[in-house]
Amino acid sequence: MKKATQADIAKALGISQATVALVVGDTDSPLRQRLNPQTVLRIQEKARELGYVPHRGAQMMRRGRSNLLALLNFGGYSELAAKRVYHVGRLIHKAGFDFQTFDAYWWAGDAKPIVNQIISMRPEGIIIVGSVQNDFGISHIEELTRQGIPIVTIGLAFEGVPRVRYDARSAFRTLTHWYLDKGRNHIVTVIPKAEQTLSWQVQERLKGFQEAVTARSGRFPTVLNGFTLQKMESNNGVAAATIVSPTRKVPFAPFQWGMDAMESLLKWREPANGIIGINDEFAIGALTVCARNDIAVPDDIMVSGFDNLSYGTQGPVSLTSVEQPIEVMSEAAIEMLKQRLGKEPKLTPFPEEQIFPCEIIWRASTESSSAVSPTLSTGSSEPQRTPHA
């Protein structure tokens, strides 16, 4: 079927193509303001009737720019990734730009094809989010920069690229202190792989745990490869460990590694009485095993997560978690990018960085049914939110 053109609209209405172009051609010409409102309405209705779609290439030639911002998303299929794309996209449209997502999570190996695809779309700027899953790196950043495209990241750190991120470290440190204040002196956090190979997000969370434990016990948490240890050593009344899990999160089974970890921890001679989950998916897996084994949460063991995913409130015990300031970070990233549009992009030694606090969402999994802290008793069913800078 032949695509409708501006000439088709003009012929159907018996008016000039130039008049049609003023209405549907995305022009800033002051002549449009002189058109009769009824004429504008007739043209718009006829365009919809004929299924007219503006030609992006023609618009770009006319304006000398694409008005397009690109989101390079490495977040995959998760709820958290969907939140990021939703807020970035909504705010880009609100700022008056068009928006295109490039989902790079599934592009294993060579990132060059997706870089070429982005360049072919001629975006005016790029926002990068998520955790890189392929070989996308500084060489690809340099190629996009050579094409005159400014880049801002949400979270990810690339040399010379300005970024917006959240303060996971502070929130995780506060969570750990809360456990210790509640007498949970046998605590663990579980990571999917060795610390030096972790994403920046998980590294920051782990550092918060390590700092809190060290401040309270005077000793760095024990690092365990797997769950073979039966008893952790205590220092100043605190026994704490970081466990490198032998099983990892896999696509479409996100809770399994938390379930496996909890099953292993229950076999210890002196099981942990606090698990500070590196994310919600791990923590929900741990809660599932607790429920199946009649382990009382939070009385026997306290559990928390990170990311505040929606299904953390759906089980028999709602999950204390940490919420990322996604909307605030999205607004800041778009504003940061807008300031760079139309200017020659440069990779600088000390790029701009903005850091925003998280919120701890306190729920039942870290509250004792026998002694709820007064600071958590809000008098309502709503979770308490604690900001952390």
Q: Where are the domains of the chain?
A: 6-62, 64-166+327-356, 168-324+358-388
Residue 137 CB partners (closer than 8 Å, separation 6+) = 111, 158
> Hey, which residues does 69 pair with through a beta bridge?
99, 125
* pLDDT of amino acid 26: 61
Residue 339's identity, in one-letter code, is Q
CATH of domain 168-324+358-388: 3.40.50.2300
Instruction: Please state, in angstroms and rounded to a whole number, the distance separating the CA atoms of residues 341 and 351.
Output: 16
Burial class of residue 377, CB neighbours in 10 A (0-12, 13-18, 19+) = exposed
Instruction: Please state, in angstroms and rounded to a whole number, the distance separating the CA atoms of residues 88 and 52.
Output: 28
The torsion angles phi and psi of 274, rounded to 5 degrees, stand at -155, 130
When pLDDT is cut at 50, 70 and 90, the band that residue 387 belongs to is low
* pLDDT of amino acid 370: 41
Instruction: Please state, in angstroms and rounded to a whole number, the distance separating the CA atoms of residues 126 and 331.
Output: 14
State whether CATH 3.40.50.2300 applies to domain 64-166+327-356: yes
More confident residue, 302 or 24: 302
More confident residue, 228 or 301: 301
When pLDDT is cut at 50, 70 and 90, the band that residue 376 belongs to is very low
Instruction: Please state, in angstroms and rounded to a whole number, the distance separating the CA atoms of residues 259 and 251.
Output: 15
Q: Provide Rg for the chain, Cα atoms.
A: 26
Asked whether this chain's domains 64-166+327-356 and 168-324+358-388 adopt the same fold, the reply is yes
Mean pLDDT of 112-121: 89
Q: Where are the alpha helices (DSSP H) in 248-373?
A: 256-265, 280-292, 326-338
Residue closest to 231 by CA, chosen among 190, 269, 275, 184: 269
* pLDDT of amino acid 315: 87
